[in-house]
Structure 1
Amino acid sequence: MVNNIPAGNLQLCAAVLFTGSSFRQISKFLGAFNIQGLSEQCFYRHQAKLLIPTVNWQWKLEQDDLIREALESGSVTLGGDMRADSPGHSAKYGSYTMMNLTCNKVIDIQLVQSNEVGNSVRMEKEGFVRSLTMLEERGVNVEAIVTDRHTGVQKFLREERKEISHYFDPWHMGKGIGKKVDELGKRKSTQDAGQWRKSLVNHLYWSASTSSSGQEAVAKWTSVANHMQNVHTHDNVLFPQCLHGPLVGEGSRVWLKLSTAACERLTDILLAPRFVKDVEKISPVYHTSTLEAFHSLIIRFSPKSVGFSFKGMFARLQVAALHYNENANRSHATTVEGVLRYAIVYPKYKHGDYTVRALKTKPTSFYIDKLMALLFDSVVEDPLLYQEHSEKVPVPEPLCAQYERPDKQDAVSRHRTRFFKKT
């Protein structure tokens, strides 16, 4: 017994939440072995009173350390992106993650419910504003931010935070271009354009990483419209000609002919005014690919097929952040002889093509030991402090309308009214 609570029950409940498991799955597992477990009400009671306050407090300690490191570094470059809790455009929750790209650590997470801002489309801007405001209030000097091309975030930084440099993630921009080129490749009249997809995405990355200014990145990017027509000199002083040698034999390409449907439509996509304007702000150094990796990790702790309460969802996001920060900078795995290990994988976005990926050392979970120690050494013994901290998290109104049951007196009055009407 721990403070009049069966220790086994509390340990089982803590293991379920701290590892990102589900009570129903664990209950089925115990039932398959015919092992007596605890009730669902008992689990959610311990989760609300003890487990969630423990996670909130441990994340507070982690966040305080990360902010202290950011203050010592002077200025930081942040990366931000939102993840919806369900596929499609009808999400209930939107979790906005702010990551310190300098050290590859999640520094803040904001959870927004759609009815707080009117609809699910506005959740990303709200989460971004909340996170940036909190970090600035803590004294963090934000030098630059890398995000996707969300219009609400662009407008906010352009009007409210002019001193912060705003960059766009090349992965998101390359993904958008790739989808449009794939659509051209599916049509008979423009199928030759589809063969340029990989080269165009690579050229976008190269334009960003090898340019010293946004104007130079634009000059290099717009040159591809001439290059794919086998024209390698350009009317731009910043990039007058291509840097490659003669492309003959195996180095030749399927060149597009001028005035053909494939050439004209692909050129319209590549030189669209809005896209070219955004290329000028493409990030030359930092990307948000690590944010995408963190969003993939969140699925292990809060699957999109399962619904959670607001505090339950927030706690699982914090556990996921603790796991990511502990394993963010793992070293390269080696064999017994000391040879670096690699693996060949076939990502979905490669459409059957492969890529070589460096294998990392096995992830650790020491954060679970810290959570368990905090729970049994402090929270169970004196839960008031931790519960008060957990209650500071504002919980929005329920998303759906709730039926309000009338009190007993009103029910009796309505019954008497119906009785007298009948008589």
Structure 2
Amino acid sequence: MDCTSIADGLPPHTVTKYIVNEDMLMELFKKCPVCTRSCIISRTVIGTLLQVNQSCPHCEYAHQWSSQPMVNNIPAGNLQLCAAVLFTGSSFVKISKFLEAFKTQGISETTFHKHQANLLFPTINWMWHQNQDDLIRETIAGGDVTLGGDMRADSPRHSAKYGSYTMMDLKTNKVIDIQLVQSNEVGNSCRMEKEGFQCSLSLLEHKGVTIKAIVTDRHPGIQKYMREQRHDITHYFDPWHMGKGIGKKMDVLAKVRRMQDVGLWKKSIVNHLYWSASTSASGEEVVAKWSSVANHIQNVHIHDNTLFPTSLHQPLVGEQARQWLKPSTAACEKLTAILLSTRLLKDMEKISPQYHTSQIECFHSFILKFAPKNVVFSYTGMLCRLQLMAMHCNENATRVHSSTTAGELRYSITYLKYKHGDFMMHQLKSYIDALMELLFHNVVEDLRPYQELLDKIPVPEPLCAQFTRPDNKPDTSPAFPRTDTDEFLSMDGG
């Protein structure tokens, strides 16, 4: 049976599905529609597909009924269930447990892996490259290009297997490129960020993007590369990363006995960092404004700097007065050493005055939905999940801020663990339909062009330790068998 045989002509992935109890469904086949006598019923189940063979021993009536059409000899429901799990960033293990608890017929893990590797990965990879080409054309047409870049590792500290470097167009907040680097490609996990940055920069310039400026964190390898080899691009440091670094040092200092007052200044000092960057016309002015905070925390508002001689705020009185730090105390001296460190003042000159990479951090946090850090994926599986997340992010990047019927903007408030009780406000704002259409109308009909594009991905050697064979020759075979559908040492499929 082919998908075009549906009565109303709708593709199978667009047809509404219903949950039907088995006993109620079988009631429809118990009686012969010709002689109304009892029939012999047999069932065949292939994943979500149910085929019912109905035969009447009295009048020789025979009929076969299928719950869903076939798409290129694949049950449409099986393929759509696999696609729905992957395209929405869900977990096959959780979905299968849900179906089992609901007593609903599903598919096996083997079926999911097979369809994922053979059909879904080529679909995702093809769609991402099409979207990326469109994004690059839009970026080039928009004039001067300012990019933001940052890396996300798949595990903390120095044991990461994968590092994904994200390049975002900071004017539109859309992900324009993602590079996935495996640690054994570059020697160790510490070198992955620089490699991802260089690969992304090279790819975008090869596609015709002329980059005016780049905003990154203060990674030493990237700093050196930009300083020595890319004088044509202005390199800025991200205020968000710098503020986070200062805040962490202040948190540590505030835990020391008799230095708790330092913690009261954290939010104000980080806000002052942003203000210094956004209101200054030069790097020297940024440094001058930033250095003034060392006097401000001591209730001194006149500074020995011609670029910023006095504070701009009015005198603080009453409830506006702060918990001023007393000069020459340990808390004041140690905090001042953090705020006026030589490296920090040098880097302040290159802080970004307008663009931040906070949107990239948001993107990285959402990747946890599609590629959790407690799950190990194959290289192709990880890359396709990153491409999925990029399409998800880009689709929502330009959505209009939700508002009430009265026209007031709506927000949601979330309390995050790492903020220790503080809150954040978020704006309340389908690539999936396009993926489903591409899968059912094109990929299943002719897989070759999609598979050829996927095969061009340079998959690195498996990450494993070498050991010596009995013949004293090094054995480079993986410690665990791996294919593009494997997700070894994991609880999920990928």
Please report the TM-score for the alignment, with normalisation by the length of structure 1: 0.91
- What code does the residue aligned with 1:172 have? H
User: Which stretch has the larger CA shift, 229-238 or 186-195?
Assistant: 186-195
Specify the alignment match of 1:398 in structure 2.
Answer: 462
Specify the alignment match of 2:315 in structure 1.
Answer: 246
SS state at 1:123 partner: helix
SS state at 1:285 partner: coil
Deviations 1:128-148 (A, max 9, x none): 111011001111011111111
Q: Check the 8 A contact 1:142/1:164 in 2, yes or no.
A: yes
Question: Cα distance, 1:37 vs. partner?
Answer: 2.7
- What code does the residue aligned with 2:161 have? K
Specify the alignment match of 1:288 in structure 2.
Answer: 357
Q: 1:378 aligns with which of 442, 449, 465?
A: 442
Q: Check the 8 A contact 1:330/1:360 in 2, yes or no.
A: no
Deviations 1:326-366 (A, max 9, x none): 011222212233332234443344432345x25323xxxx1
Q: Check the 8 A contact 1:170/1:204 in 2, yes or no.
A: yes
- What code does the residue aligned with 2:459 have? V
Specify the alignment match of 2:42 in structure 1.
Answer: none
Specify the alignment match of 1:413 in structure 2.
Answer: none
- What code does the residue aligned with 2:178 have? I
Counterparts of 1:352-367 in structure 2, within 5 Å, are 352-355=421-424, 357-361=425-429, 366-367=430-431
Specify the alignment match of 2:217 in structure 1.
Answer: 148
The structure-2 alpha-carbon separation of the partners of 1:369 and 1:138, relative to structure 1 and needing over 3 Å to count, comes to same
Q: 1:339 aligns with which of 405, 408, 417?
A: 408
Specify the alignment match of 1:368 in structure 2.
Answer: 432
SS state at 2:332 partner: helix
| Structure 1 spans left out of the alignment, 5+ residues | 407-423
The structure-2 alpha-carbon separation of the partners of 1:216 and 1:15, relative to structure 1 and needing over 3 Å to count, comes to same
Q: Does 2:320 align with 1:256? A: no
The structure-2 alpha-carbon separation of the partners of 1:353 and 1:26, relative to structure 1 and needing over 3 Å to count, comes to closer
Q: 1:75 aligns with which of 136, 144, 153?
A: 144
**Aligned mates of 1:272, 1:304 — CA distance in 2:** 35
Q: 1:111 aligns with which of 174, 180, 192?
A: 180
SS state at 1:82 partner: strand
The structure-2 alpha-carbon separation of the partners of 1:376 and 1:403, relative to structure 1 and needing over 3 Å to count, comes to farther
Q: 1:66 aligns with which of 104, 114, 135?
A: 135
**Equivalent pairs, count:** 401
Deviations 1:8-57 (A, max 9, x none): 22111111111112222222222223333322222212211111010000
Deviations 1:203-258 (A, max 9, x none): 11110011111110000001111111222111111101111112222222222222
**Aligned mates of 2:289, 2:101 — CA distance in 1:** 62
SS state at 2:168 partner: strand
Q: 2:234 aligns with which of 138, 161, 165?
A: 165
Q: Does 2:268 align with 1:199? A: yes
Specify the alignment match of 1:186 in structure 2.
Answer: 255
SS state at 1:98 partner: strand
SS state at 1:259 partner: coil
- What code does the residue aligned with 2:294 have? A
The structure-2 alpha-carbon separation of the partners of 1:393 and 1:330, relative to structure 1 and needing over 3 Å to count, comes to same
Question: Relative to total residues, which structure has the larger strand share, 1 or 2?
Answer: 2
Q: Which structure's CA Rg is the greater one? A: 2
**Aligned mates of 1:344, 1:320 — CA distance in 2:** 23
Question: Cα distance, 1:376 vs. partner?
Answer: 1.2
Specify the alignment match of 1:305 in structure 2.
Answer: 374
Return structure 1 stretches of 4+ with deviation > 4 angstroms. 401-406
Specify the alignment match of 1:410 in structure 2.
Answer: none
The structure-2 alpha-carbon separation of the partners of 1:247 and 1:14, relative to structure 1 and needing over 3 Å to count, comes to same
The structure-2 alpha-carbon separation of the partners of 1:286 and 1:115, relative to structure 1 and needing over 3 Å to count, comes to same
Deviations 1:372-413 (A, max 9, x none): 11111111111011100000011000001489999xxxxxxx
SS state at 2:130 partner: helix
Question: Relative to total residues, which structure has the larger helix share, 1 or 2?
Answer: 1
Specify the alignment match of 2:399 in structure 1.
Answer: 330
| Structure 2 spans left out of the alignment, 5+ residues | 1-69, 471-494
- What code does the residue aligned with 1:12 have? L
Specify the alignment match of 1:16 in structure 2.
Answer: 85
Question: Cα distance, 1:199 vs. partner?
Answer: 1.4
The structure-2 alpha-carbon separation of the partners of 1:367 and 1:185, relative to structure 1 and needing over 3 Å to count, comes to same
Specify the alignment match of 1:274 in structure 2.
Answer: 343
Q: Check the 8 A contact 2:412/2:428 in 1, yes or no.
A: no
SS state at 2:141 partner: helix
**Aligned mates of 1:162, 1:22 — CA distance in 2:** 45
Q: 1:237 aligns with which of 306, 324, 334?
A: 306
Q: Does 2:286 align with 1:217? A: yes
Please report the TM-score for the alignment, with normalisation by the length of structure 2: 0.78
**Aligned mates of 1:193, 1:33 — CA distance in 2:** 54
Q: Check the 8 A contact 2:162/2:183 in 1, yes or no.
A: yes
**Aligned mates of 1:82, 1:298 — CA distance in 2:** 12
